[in-house]
Structure 1
């Protein structure tokens, strides 16, 4: 893509339980690159971010995931936090959107606990990825190969382990969006 201005990047979260830095830092990098981040969630209103287990800021939801279309976005970002992906796994619209996005071939970037949503979407068979270490068994049981690396790219999937990996995670995401 030669002209990045106006290119939308979907950030999909539950309405509560998002690790703040895993949403706000990639969001800022996307904005700084001249792209347009949009926050999708199951319900309208706001999402509640957390600094580990402590409530942090709220952010306004741009659109519900139920009405979201893969064709409207250049990439999908899945922030972590323990409660966030666990809640998204129970939302049929979120799981469908993730599955469709992976199938589209467009970049899908998941950090920390967010690969739980990829497990639920059933898209990890034969894929190599990383995550927070406690997800290893779930990833392996869903047919994926778990590795302990800062950032892993397999096809259109981009994964990282934790907030310390955010610089490499966002650099890889932006590189994939630029093609």
Structure 2
């Protein structure tokens, strides 16, 4: 169990077409190595297309339609960056609903790079310390966040990474956050 601290846990990874492939595959690999089950949640129909080194990349299967995604069904949420995907999710009320639900319940959330824009839009970062890609720093600060120029930041159950550079270290921290997290149901038992 020690080598698989997330055994029995299910993590949602929220994607839209144009997500940064490395910011998706690195967290997914780390979570699976830790024993977690990962589920890709997206509005994309059947397959979601990544962005890799300046052009369209691979397609990945979608496990659950975002419209049917509820925070209560998962033990954590990861949102990779990639501005093409983030802009699509920023316009989608279901993306905002899912992120807000995880944040309201103080559940583990990892937000990578450009995806910090979603935190700013959902007004869930006021008074929090975060990092992100430089492109969304101003939006986070305007939303009341304290932005740090660092690879990653852990504040409570929220882990933010600056992008590809910080994603590996951030995911180590996220695995620890998820492993330590007890749902309200578990606390009540």
Please confirm whether the aligned pair reaches a TM-score higher than 0.5, indicating the same fold.
yes
Look up the SS of the partner of 2:169 in the other structure. helix
1:11 to 10, 13, 26: 13
1:25 aligns with 2:26: yes
Are residues 13 and 153 of structure 1, via their aligned partners in 2, closer, same or farther at CA, if it must alter by over 3 Å? same
Q: Distance in 2 between matches of 1:88 and 1:167?
A: 23
Q: Distance in 2 between matches of 1:36 and 1:168?
A: 20
Where in structure 1 are there 5+ consecutive unaligned residues? none
Look up the SS of the partner of 2:103 in the other structure. helix
Look up the SS of the partner of 1:100 in the other structure. helix
Look up the SS of the partner of 1:176 in the other structure. helix
> TM-score under structure 2 normalisation?
0.90
Q: Distance in 2 between matches of 1:6 and 1:153?
A: 23
Say if 1:151 and 1:161, in contact at 8 Å, map to a contact too. yes
Q: CA deviation at 1:160?
A: 0.8
Say if 1:52 and 1:81, in contact at 8 Å, map to a contact too. no
Where in structure 2 are there 5+ consecutive unaligned residues? 181-189
Q: Distance in 2 between matches of 1:61 and 1:127?
A: 31
Q: Distance in 2 between matches of 1:116 and 1:78?
A: 11
Say if 2:6 and 2:175, in contact at 8 Å, map to a contact too. no
Deviations 1:19-66 (A, max 9, x none): 001001110111111110000002331110011421111001000111
Provide the residue aligned with 2:164 in structure 1.
163
| Aligned ranges 1:57-96 → 2 under 5 Å | 57-96=58-97
Provide the residue aligned with 2:148 in structure 1.
147
Provide the residue aligned with 2:42 in structure 1.
41
Q: Distance in 1 between matches of 2:53 and 2:88?
A: 16
Look up the SS of the partner of 2:29 in the other structure. helix
> Please, what is the CA RMSD of the aligned residues?
1.4
Say if 1:44 and 1:63, in contact at 8 Å, map to a contact too. no
The total of aligned residue pairs comes to: 178
Q: Distance in 1 between matches of 2:7 and 2:140?
A: 35
Moved over 4 A (4+): none
